[in-house]
Amino acid sequence: MLYYMFNKPQGCVTACSDAVHKTVMDYFPAELSEKLHPVGRLDKDTCGLLILTDDGDLDFKIMQPDRHISKTYFFYAVGTVNAEKIQLIENGIAMKGFTSKPAKFRLFRQYRIRELEEFIPLERREKYMKNPDGAAFAAALTIHEGKKHEVKRIMEAVGCRIFYLRRDCIGSLELDTALKQGEYRLLNEDEVNALKENK
């Protein structure tokens, strides 16, 4: 069995093929891309940790919501957080269609929007830079479900808008900081075992 860690860049889709967009498989040589498939998915504008494998059972073992495997995301967002908002995030928020499960929020640093201009997508940059001294911040959120757009929706529910999102961890498996965006490496035996054991 093959198990790869991939640092997914922004701008490509998590699919084996796509008639319009570049896919994560385009970063692999043909002899690998024919064998591998991505485990779970990351949105086109989300970067970071993605597992690719030829192990058909791994999806079920680590990506099903009822398995409660933690996934940690780092992000930059416009807005502010306070103790009340953090408590809402960590206790679970009722949203259209579902209520988020308890999550772990960690605030790293507060910024002005202008300090994070390089991370703002080009299509939103002009709008956000109209208020360059507006509030922004860096934080991480650990969730245990992985519903569609869950991290973005949780933060929007407390009045914050994420403009840069990166997955850093699945369970105990951390994104290798030596991997640049678009690079990949084989998982070692300990990492594979940790994934399979849902650690």
Q: Residue 191 belongs to a domain with what CATH number?
A: 3.30.70.580
How many angstroms separate the CA atoms of 163 and 131, rounded?
A: 15
pLDDT digits (tens, 9 = 90+) for 101-154: 899 999 999 999 999 999 999 999 999 999 999 999 999 999 987 777 899 999
For the chain, the maximum distance between any two Cα atoms, rounded to a whole number of angstroms, is 51
Share of the chain above pLDDT 90, in %: 64
- CATH code at position 87: 3.30.70.1560
**Cα separation values, 26 from 12, 59, 129, Å:** 9, 21, 33
- Sequence-ordered list of residues with C-beta below 8 angstroms from that of 175, at least 6 positions apart, any chain: 5, 7, 48, 49, 166, 167, 168, 169
Do residues 97 and 137 share a domain? yes
Residues that are catalytic? 43
**Residue 17 burial (C-beta neighbours within 10 Å; 0-12, 13-18, 19+):** exposed
Do residues 82 and 43 share a domain? no
Do residues 40 and 120 share a domain? no
How many angstroms separate the CA atoms of 126 and 97, rounded?
A: 32
**Which pLDDT score is estimated for 198?**
66
H helical segments located in 73-188: 83-91, 122-128, 150-157
Instruction: List 137's β-bridge partners, or say none.
Output: 77, 110
Place of tokens 């998915």: 41
User: Which amino acid, residue 109?
Assistant: R
Do residues 58 and 76 share a domain? no
Q: What residues make up the domain containing 43?
A: 3-63+174-196
Give yes or no for residue 58 having a pLDDT over 90: no
Give yes or no for residue 194 having a pLDDT over 60: yes
Tell me what the mean pLDDT of segment 66-91 comes to: 92
Instruction: List 184's β-bridge partners, or say none.
Output: 6
**Which pLDDT score is estimated for 20?**
84
Give yes or no for residue 77 having a pLDDT over 80: yes
Do residues 92 and 156 share a domain? yes
How many angstroms separate the CA atoms of 104 and 86, rounded?
A: 9
Do residues 9 and 86 share a domain? no
Total Cβ atoms within 10 A of residue 14: 21
**Which pLDDT score is estimated for 69?**
82
Give yes or no for residue 199 having a pLDDT over 70: no
**Which pLDDT score is estimated for 161?**
96
pLDDT digits (tens, 9 = 90+) for 6-45: 999 999 998 887 778 899 999 999 888 889 989 888 999 9
Do residues 23 and 52 share a domain? yes
Do residues 164 and 190 share a domain? no
Place of tokens 């808008």: 161
Give yes or no for residue 63 having a pLDDT over 70: no
**Which pLDDT score is estimated for 196?**
78
Do residues 180 and 119 share a domain? no
Do residues 144 and 76 share a domain? yes
**Which pLDDT score is estimated for 65?**
58
Average of per-residue pLDDT values in the chain = 90
pTM, to two decimals: 0.92
Do residues 118 and 165 share a domain? yes
Do residues 103 and 125 share a domain? yes
Q: Which of 52, 8, 20, 23 is nearest to 165 (CA)?
A: 8
How many domains is the chain partitioned into structurally? 2
